[in-house]
Amino acid sequence: MILKEYRRDFAIYAELIGGSIILYFCVDYLKGIVNFISGLSSTGIDSSFILLLVKITGISILTEFAVSVCRDMGEGAIASKVDLGGKLLIVSLSIPIITATLSGLLGLLE
């Protein structure tokens, strides 16, 4: 924060490096989540759905990181566009899951 007051151009790099370091230390937790999701494959859930869940999780984490960086740089408009783009990617990736869920529900109703 002190660097931001005196050298705004260097403060951006320091924030990016600091955020990357924090994200690096969170990788162990992410590995645990991925291992849990991979363990779901033994329950009979289709592996393509599990892969989609992992992709959606990754997109949401990276989008949130990018939005935070944009907001820290004072670019609220760009942050909202990145947030919207991430949400659209997540919705487009989740269409097969939604379709399978709805077809399963329709099968139960018939």
Output the pTM of the full model.
Answer: 0.66
Q: What token pair was written down for 49?
A: 């759905």
What are the residue boundaries of the structural domains of the chain, listed by start?
2-109
Residue bearing tokens 């892969």: 51
How sure is the predictor about 80, in pLDDT bands with cuts at 50, 70 and 90?
very high
16-52 residue pLDDT tens? 788 788 878 888 787 887 778 777 777 777 777 878 8
pLDDT digits (tens, 9 = 90+) for 81-97: 999 999 999 999 999 88
> Which two tokens mark 17?
């490096």
